[in-house]
Structure 1
Amino acid sequence: MKTILTILIVVLGGLSTITAQNTPKFQFKSEVIDYGEIEKGANGLRVFEFTNSGTAPLVIENVYSSCGCTTPSWTKTAVAPGQSGKIEVKYNTTIVGPIRRTITIYSNADENPKAIKIKGKVLDPDEKS
């Protein structure tokens, strides 16, 4: 019984290693984009760039924001190993105040879901300091 259990553990461990070797993997230039302090109504578009550092095509199934004030769009085609893709994030800069949002990526990558973040602060030019 002990021998069968040992063989089973070795086989399953080997299969998980093989599977892990044939998976896509996100490698972002940066996982956090800092808007800094921007004025109300400024351009809220920012781009997360990534490379598939895995060994299989990376397919993004969906991308969600933690708030309706942030609209994501992304590379819709499979990203081959070694190739690059992007996730664009448009923040509604008519909302004054701090920016702290999480963008969640659902894909076939080894880390699923994957969270990336935006931060910063939208300033109201009409407010006096």
Structure 2
Amino acid sequence: MFAIASLVLTTSCKENAALRIDEETAKEAELAHAEAGKVAVMKFEDTNFDFGTINSGDVVEHTFTFTNAGSSDLLISEAKASCGCTVPSYTKTAVKPGDTGEIKVSFNSAGKSGKQNKSVTVTANTESGSEVLKFTADVTPKAGVGVKQEKK
């Protein structure tokens, strides 16, 4: 009986040994596991900006600055505005850990009046996958546009 049990154990150990991976594959798996813990983190100085009062037709710009507070390179794949009156531009190269990048937002207030609330969604290789930047402006209509003037 003992001999049969020993044979079964020896056979099963040999089968498990056959399933082991080679040393090179083990090192690759270890590196992949170490890299998996590294993420880019987009840390902004501010995510909201107020242009204040501007005149209809003004084109105003603001630059949102961020730092990569993570442990791997940060890559922005897209910056999408909430409307056609807003044009974002952004750092196109990889932002190394500890370095800074920018997202510049240009807002054209032509045809706008009153309080404006706009946003830009930034897609990047961060843990959350996206960040939302917001801005506001109080747009004053041009004289004679939408305002009745009295005759003297």
CA RMSD of aligned residues (A): 2.1
**2: distance between equivalents of 1:57 and 1:120?**
34
Greater Cα shift, 117-126 or 68-77: 117-126
Q: Distance in 1 between matches of 2:73 and 2:34?
A: 18
- The letter of the residue matching 1:39 is N
The offset of 1:99, in angstroms, is: 1.5
Look up the match of 1:12.
Answer: none
SS of the residue corresponding to residue 44 of structure 1 reads strand
CA distance in 2, matches of 1:48, 1:111: 18
Aligned-partner Cα distance in 1 for 2:127–2:84: 27
Residues 1:51 and 2:67 are matched in the alignment: yes
Aligned residues: 113
How much has 1:125 moved relative to structure 2?
4.1
**Residue matched to 2:123:** 106
Q: TM-score, normalised by structure 1?
A: 0.79
Secondary structure in 2 matching 1:89: strand
Q: Distance in 2 between matches of 1:59 and 1:112?
A: 11
Q: Distance in 2 between matches of 1:48 and 1:55?
A: 21
Cα distance in 2 for partners of 1:74, 1:96 equals: 27
Between Structure 1 and Structure 2, which shows a larger proportion of strand residues?
Answer: 1
Runs of 4+ residues deviating >6 angstroms? 15-18
Within 5 Å, give how 1:1-129 maps onto structure 2: 19=36, 21-94=37-110, 95-126=112-143, 127=147
Structure 1 residue 17, shift from structure 2 partner: 9.7
Write the letter of the residue equivalent to 1:46.
H
1:41-90 Cα offsets, whole Å, 9 max, x none, are 33411110101000100000000011111010000000000000000101
Flag structure 2 segments of 5+ consecutive residues without an equivalent.
1-31
- In the other structure, the counterpart of 1:8 is none
In the aligned structure 2, how far is the partner of 1:16 from the partner of 1:90?
41
Cα deviation for residue 16 of structure 1 reads 9.2
Take 1:100 and 1:16, find their aligned partners in 2: how far apart are those partners?
Answer: 43
Instruction: Name the CA distance, whole Å, in 2 between partners of 1:39 and 1:55.
Output: 43
Amino acid at match of 1:108: N
Query: CA deviation digits over 1:5-28, x for unaligned, max 9?
Result: xxxxxxxxxx99973x41000110
Q: What fraction of aligned residue pairs are identical, expressed as a percent?
A: 32
Instruction: Name which structure has the greater RCO, CA cutoff 8 Å, separation 6+.
Output: 1
- For residue 49 of structure 2, give the secondary structure of its aligned residue in structure 1: strand
> Radius of gyration: which is bigger?
2
Alignment gaps of 5+ in structure 1? 1-14
Q: What secondary structure does 2:128 align onto? A: coil
